[in-house]
Amino acid sequence: MLVLLAAGLVIYALVRNVDWASLLHSAAIKPADSASTPAAVETPIARIGLVSGHRGNDSGTVCQDGYTEAQLNFETAVRVADLLRAHGYTVDILNEFDARLKGYRAALLLSIHADSCTYINDQATGYKVARVLDSRIPVQEDNLVACLSSRYHAATGLKFHVNTVTFDMTKYHAFYEIDPSTPAAIIETGFMYLDRDLLTNHNDRIAQGIYNGITCFLNGEKPDSP
């Protein structure tokens, strides 16, 4: 086949009066391996869903000065989304009963909330993280909870307030609306009475702790509980 190709090129060069040596050089067949090398494939960017607790539905807990949980949750969600987007992630900030939750598919979904803004006792301080009680993917969701708990504690210094994980958290409505293959959790970032200074004046630490927990999970880390 190569002999016939070369002969054809020589005849063409004689008829057209061109430099047949250059023509042969330009028509040289490239090695098969270079012709079959596939183009680089980009890794898909992870999509993350953040539910801004109570947003679009109600105020959540309300402080004496009128500051609401819904406001705090949204401020936190925006900060977390900014951190994630700055590192290349695709982020959806969702309302409490967002229509997009139905069948929602992502690398993970996290609902962001905060706790009471009234004085309960001196022990009413700290955060909580939970996943759905009857998880279909318990190993993944336990790891998500562990990552969030560990990294959030490290960033904020708050303790896990384990005794107040509620039925509303473990049976949170969004857990039953999203695609069951999407790992999900809910976080109560702190009590808006005793933890308010941290939650509002140092919200960057709150957001960083959540971001660290999310990336811990996405990177496949398996931290110990705080």
Q: What is the C-alpha R_g of the chain?
A: 28
Q: Which residues pair with 111 in a beta bridge?
A: 51, 186
Which architecture does CATH list for 47-218?
3-Layer(aba) Sandwich (3.40)
From the CB of residue 56, how many other CB atoms can be counted at a distance below 10 Å?
12
Question: How many of the other CB atoms lie within 10 Å of CB of 146?
Answer: 20
Indicate the range of 63-67, 142-146, 162-166 predicted with least confidence.
162-166
pLDDT greater than 80 at residue 5: no
Q: For 150-174, what is each residue's pLDDT tens digit?
A: 999 999 999 999 888 999 999 999 9
Q: Where exactly does CATH 3.40.630.40 map onto the chain? A: 47-218
Q: What percent of the chain has pLDDT over 90?
A: 76
Q: Going by DSSP bridges, is the β-strand pair 128-130/184-191 parallel, antiparallel, or unpaired?
A: antiparallel
Please tell me the predicted confidence (pLDDT) of residue 225. Answer: 64
